[in-house]
């Protein structure tokens, strides 16, 4: 009975998280659009200087580097943040449906198999693309650093994690499909 309450909490949490992520996505689109298409407007000036969103670590520059003012960096940041938003929004929506199905019915239903396949595909494709573009953006920021007495190298292969997790979600979906079929056959034999 306690697990049922946990699944209810999880689907409500995913629903609330979806709407919060939607607000952040709208802000991100507005932020990037302002710098891409209206760079000299008063509205854009309210944001200050452009700083791309990347997820590995925070780099604080004393002066905004020239590379941040290049249009291709703004476009790369826009693509990266859009992919991240899509990954989070679609993932939260799928998890909401999955937890709601588990709470209201059971884990062992055909719809959950499809949801796990979709979740694996989203992680595999959108997640990997986000990690790759985020790594490209981070690499550009690292190149803007003026480091003396050291050399920093960055390998952009973190997207392998999302490929592996996407495949794992699909494998769990395949295992669940076998279990659902066994349960269905068991219903008819009894």
- Distant-in-sequence contacts of 61-70, Cβ < 8 A, 24+ apart: 61/144, 65/141, 65/144, 66/144, 67/140, 67/141, 67/143, 67/144, 68/144
Count CB atoms within 10 A of the CB of residue 186: 9
Angle, vertex CA 166, rays to CA 163 and CA 170, nearest 5: 140
190 residues of the chain, pLDDT tens digit each = 678 889 999 999 999 999 999 999 999 999 999 999 999 899 889 988 888 877 767 777 788 778 888 889 899 999 999 999 999 999 999 999 999 999 999 889 999 999 999 999 999 999 999 999 998 888 888 877 777 777 777 777 888 899 999 999 999 999 999 999 988 888 777 5
Separation between Cα atoms, residue 134 and residue 165, nearest integer Å: 18
Phi, psi (deg, nearest 5) at residue 92: -65, -40
For the chain, the domains span 2-107+126-156
């Amino acid at each position: 009975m306690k697990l049922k309450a946990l699944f209810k909490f999880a689907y409500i949490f995913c629903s609330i998280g979806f709407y919060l992520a939607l607000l952040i996505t709208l802000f991100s689109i507005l932020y990037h659009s302002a710098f891409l298409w209206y760079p000299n407007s008063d509205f854009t000036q309210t944001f200050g200087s452009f700083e791309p969103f990347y997820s590995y670590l925070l780099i604080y520059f004393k002066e905004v580097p020239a590379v941040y003012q290049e249009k291709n960096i703004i476009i790369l940041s826009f693509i990266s943040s859009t992919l991240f938003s899509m990954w989070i929004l679609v993932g939260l929506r799928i998890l909401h449906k999955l937890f709601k199905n588990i709470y209201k019915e059971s884990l062992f239903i055909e719809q959950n198999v499809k949801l796990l396949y979709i979740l694996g595909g989203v992680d595999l494709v959108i997640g990997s693309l986000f990690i790759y573009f985020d790594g490209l953006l981070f690499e550009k920021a690292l190149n803007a650093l003026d480091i003396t007495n050291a050399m920093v190298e960055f390998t952009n292969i973190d997207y392998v994690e999302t490929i592996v997790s996407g495949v794992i979600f699909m494998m769990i979906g395949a295992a669940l499909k076998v279990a659902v079929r066994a349960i269905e056959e068991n219903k008819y034999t009894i």
